[in-house]
Structure 1
């Protein structure tokens, strides 16, 4: 698993395969396809046809969403917040889940659910690397995936935090790049991210 998790918003499901291939060419083997558009579910199905790409579903809000994305082939689930019902449904299906947290209270709820890995969202607005460093002190067993406001320019700051094992962002998979079919640019930006260069 690479330490970069691209957050993908598809306007057309047929963009999934060439996008996944471009990410792989840049050294990124994991992608989160969100449910923010109607193309999300079919995009997950299409991306799963690619060898070597781990495909997850993002913007999962309800237990019903969990059922839908698992049926589409999602291998992991990402949520903007923390819902015990969504966590339990993911466990029922045997898929990994990465729920979103923002506060110590959220983290206590995550610990109570037996979770040891969470998405910090929106990381940039909450205080960025300094906030993660502060949170990790009273929660030493927790691993964080910052999302929201992570860019090529601050990537190294996040990855330098011991409690961060992966970062989530969309600068290498912007809707403009995807809409334009600029797969070479996606590959180049992905390679730079993997090499931790802005």
Structure 2
């Protein structure tokens, strides 16, 4: 099948997961995250009015921002995401219907995988990158064991129980993308609080990976 869009060259392999984001706070929080140096933002679809938040983020942030949705579970979700202007699709699982529709829209995809079987299925379906989830259960050692049999050019992401404290350990096994959820954002936090956490994550990334070039 046709591949989805290649994973872009972000300054930093960081994705802000804004689960529970309220549309009335979307722009302020998104701007704080982007200003800190995180270019990729996902709004999980089990958030309040997620497509409203995604539309606002797409309109408010610069063109280099990669905005999209998480917890995408159906082809209809993909169509709604496309209508909102989102380009990034993140899911907790690998689903052929979702991936086919994402390819139709030229989206960047990060489907969730846990086993070699799921990882190879995602690659066959054209995944832009693999999201090992929940990464805290697999750990760096588990991801390393699976990655040993995967094509070397597939970007590897770690999501789920991951914070900036884990960058160095995961980097050692080839992880280059991190999804930051509750370590970065929780509902009710102010944009200033989120920005502070985002800056700490960016500083840790730059320390581990040698800057945000």
Judge same fold: TM > 0.5, yes or no: yes
Verify: 1:184 aligned to 2:195, yes or no. no
SS in 2 for 1:119: strand
The aligned runs of 1:48-197 (5 Å cut-off) are: 48-52=58-62, 53-115=65-127, 117-125=129-137, 127-141=138-152, 142-162=154-174, 164-170=175-181, 171-175=183-187, 179-181=188-190, 183-196=191-204
Contact kept in structure 2, 1:9 and 1:40, CA below 8 Å: no
Verify: 1:37 aligned to 2:47, yes or no. yes
Q: How well do the aligned residues superpose, as a CA RMSD in angstroms?
A: 1.8
The count of corresponding residues between Structure 1 and Structure 2 is 192
For structure 1, the 5+ residue unaligned runs are none
2: distance between equivalents of 1:89 and 1:6? 24
Change (3 A) 1:160 1:192: farther
Higher mean C-alpha displacement, 78-87 vs 113-122: 113-122
Contact kept in structure 1, 2:31 and 2:61, CA below 8 Å: no
- C-alpha deviation, 1:135, in angstroms: 0.9
Contact kept in structure 1, 2:15 and 2:42, CA below 8 Å: yes
- C-alpha deviation, 1:11, in angstroms: 4.5
SS in 2 for 1:154: helix
2: distance between equivalents of 1:11 and 1:115? 26
Verify: 1:14 aligned to 2:24, yes or no. yes
For structure 2, the 5+ residue unaligned runs are 1-9, 208-213
Contact kept in structure 2, 1:4 and 1:168, CA below 8 Å: yes
SS in 1 for 2:73: coil
1: distance between equivalents of 2:124 and 2:67? 27
Change (3 A) 1:30 1:102: same
TM-score (norm 2): 0.84
Contact kept in structure 1, 2:21 and 2:43, CA below 8 Å: no
1: distance between equivalents of 2:202 and 2:21? 26
TM-score (norm 1): 0.90
